[in-house]
Amino acid sequence: MIDLYTWPTPNGHKIHIMLEETGLEYKVHAIDIGAGEQFKPDFLAISPNNKIPAMIDQDGPGGKPFALAESGAMLFYLASKTGRFLPKGLRERWVVMQWVMTQMGHVGPMLGQAHHFLQYAPEKIEYAMNRYRNEAKRLYGVVDKRLQESEWLGGNEYSIADMATMPWMRAPERQGVDIEQFPVLKRWRERIAARPAVQRAKARSPGSPAAARASGSPRGSSSRAPAPTWRSRDAAPRP
């Protein structure tokens, strides 16, 4: 059983998608980052950088609970645990790694900044808005070009690289990007969105109407964040 600490954001969605794709059993714990729950000491014990997502695999390496944060590391962990969505061949595997790292190092941080400066910043700063809008467009172009030569980001197979990247490209208009300029990327996004696991993942995200119905809570959290099963990250067994 995996305890997933999450909130409905692109980084959170990635892990929901992987858990649904692999069929692993998991329980959702909502960490309301708008209310500052990511700074609570219990959460900090499993996520040292105060960010969602994070998880505790109750059946971690050695059969003991194992805590992990950072969505890229979590995707690699879940792929290693299940032997799925990360190719076995070394050439293919490293290419998937390359695209997961492109998402972690560029797509997430830059589109996140575009989102921030275009939608949320209390002050409209032209320089920042242009900088991140341009970078967002450039990155959509990088992904679109890759998908012109390859069915999926990592190669011939749908992989954790696609799961990591697609949730960031769901709302291009909020990042200053016209999706019609990237038709191949648009079709790739639709293929992923149509997958039953991706639809189930969305439904189980905190705040979704389906999750709210299941939990009886207006915010759809199946559980508020409980205390992790240990007090300090150092106590968590490492692989």
Ligand X SMILES: N[C@@H](CCC(=O)N[C@@H](CS)C(=O)NCC(=O)O)C(=O)O
Q: Is 191 exposed, middle or buried (0-12, 13-18, 19+ CB in 10 A)?
A: middle
Cα–Cα dist 126/91, whole Å: 43
Give me the least distance between CB of 108 and ligand X, in Å please. Answer: 6
* Pick 15 or 192: Cβ nearer ligand X: 15
Interface positions, 3-22, toward ligand X (CB under 6 A): 9, 11
Interface positions, 172-231, toward ligand X (CB under 6 A): none
Can you say whether the dihedral through the CA atoms of 161, 162, 168, 169 is positive or negative? Answer: positive
E strand or H helix at 13, and its extent?
helix 10-22
Give me the least distance between CB of 162 and ligand X, in Å please. Answer: 16
Cα–Cα dist 109/166, whole Å: 14
Find, among 149, 154, 118, 148, the residue nearest to 136 by Cα: 118
* Pick 191 or 233: Cβ nearer ligand X: 233
* Pick 62 or 105: Cβ nearer ligand X: 105
Segment interacting with ligand X (CB under 6 A) among 55-63, 67-75, 86-94, 217-225: 67-75
Give me the least distance between CB of 146 and ligand X, in Å please. Answer: 20
Report yes or no: 30 and 206 within 8 Å, Cβ to Cβ: yes
Give me the least distance between CB of 5 and ligand X, in Å please. Answer: 10
Residue 38 near ligand X by CB under 6 A: yes
- Who's near 190: CB < 8 A, 6+ residues apart? none
* Pick 111 or 198: Cβ nearer ligand X: 111
Interface positions, 47-66, toward ligand X (CB under 6 A): 50-53
* Pick 53 or 60: Cβ nearer ligand X: 53
Cα–Cα dist 238/68, whole Å: 9
Interface positions, 81-120, toward ligand X (CB under 6 A): 104, 108
* Pick 41 or 89: Cβ nearer ligand X: 41
Interface positions, 69-88, toward ligand X (CB under 6 A): 70-72
Report yes or no: 100 and 161 within 8 Å, Cβ to Cβ: yes
CA 91 vs. chain centroid, Å, equals 24
* Pick 99 or 184: Cβ nearer ligand X: 99
Give me the least distance between CB of 149 and ligand X, in Å please. Answer: 26
Cα–Cα dist 181/179, whole Å: 5
Footprint of ligand X on this chain (CB under 6 A)? 9, 11, 33, 38, 50-53, 70-72, 104, 108
